[in-house]
Structure 1
Amino acid sequence: MPKNKKKQEASSSSDSDEGPTDRNPPPEKKAKTGGSRTDDKEPTWVLQKNKLVKVREFKGKVYIDIREFYEKNGELLPGKKGISLTPDLWRKLLSLGDEINETVSSLC
């Protein structure tokens, strides 16, 4: 057995309570499933696995972004499918909620 191997084994058998250290932890995914808010820098809510609602700032303006995201290298990135609404348009959409719900209910 090589000398280096013995030294590694001896050092790994310490009485420390810390346990093994993972030098390459898996990358953190930004979105969580379950329809709840995530801990991003931007306020984020999960609608479905890769469909998110984010409140974000772009060029000094606030937008409500409803978008599909895709995963690349363990990170969720915004896709082309989605819409960004200004706060005024968001409020307008919310005000139409009851009317939209009635229409959907009559069709289902």
Structure 2
Amino acid sequence: MPKHKSKKEASSSSDSDDGPVDRNVPPEKKAKTSSKTDDKEPTWVLQGKKLVKVREFKGKVYVDIREFYEKNGDLLPGKKGISLTPEQWRKLLSLGDEINETISNSC
């Protein structure tokens, strides 16, 4: 008789293509006044392994908002994310009030 997967097993697959998923993520500690980390690149934690970094790539600076994953003890950038030029980042910030108003009206 074929073995059937339970609903829990069937729904536990991830559609993420950014590497292994740690299903035993420890609960986050109490909120700090700053979420900046001590890293080589300026880094801020949004939530869990979702980070904002200011990085240099091919001689240009980017604001990188991305999900990271662990491999062999290292935190590596996943495919899910976006890198913005400083100009795009400033444009996004300038839209903040309008976006916040739209969010408030949607809830």
Taking structure 2 as the reference length, the TM-score comes to 0.69
Equivalent residue number for residue 71 of structure 2: 72
Bigger proportion of residues as helix: 1
Q: Percent identity?
A: 82
Q: Which runs of 5+ in 2 are unaligned?
A: 1-27
Residues 43-94 of structure 1 show CA distances to partners (whole Å, capped at 9, x for unaligned) of: 0000001100000000000000000000111111000000000000000000
3-state DSSP of counterpart to 2:40: coil
Q: Which runs of 5+ in 1 are unaligned?
A: 1-31
Equivalent residue number for residue 56 of structure 2: 57
Structure 2 Cα separation of the partners of residues 66 and 42 of structure 1: 13
Equivalent residue number for residue 22 of structure 1: none
Equivalent residue number for residue 97 of structure 1: 96
3-state DSSP of counterpart to 1:90: helix
Structure possessing the higher relative contact order (Cα contacts under 8 Å, 6 or more residues apart) = 2
Please tell me the root mean square deviation across aligned C-alpha atoms, in Å: 1.5
Structure 2 Cα separation of the partners of residues 73 and 105 of structure 1: 42
Structure 2 Cα separation of the partners of residues 98 and 36 of structure 1: 22
In the comparison of the two structures, how many residue pairs are matched? 77
Structure 1 Cα separation of the partners of residues 75 and 58 of structure 2: 21
Structure 2 Cα separation of the partners of residues 100 and 52 of structure 1: 21
Give 1 or 2 for the bigger CA radius of gyration: 1
Residues 11-55 of structure 1 show CA distances to partners (whole Å, capped at 9, x for unaligned) of: xxxxxxxxxxxxxxxxxxxxx965610111100000001100000
Equivalent residue number for residue 35 of structure 2: 36
3-state DSSP of counterpart to 1:100: helix
In the alignment, is residue 87 of structure 1 matched against residue 93 of structure 2? no
Structure 1 Cα separation of the partners of residues 70 and 100 of structure 2: 32
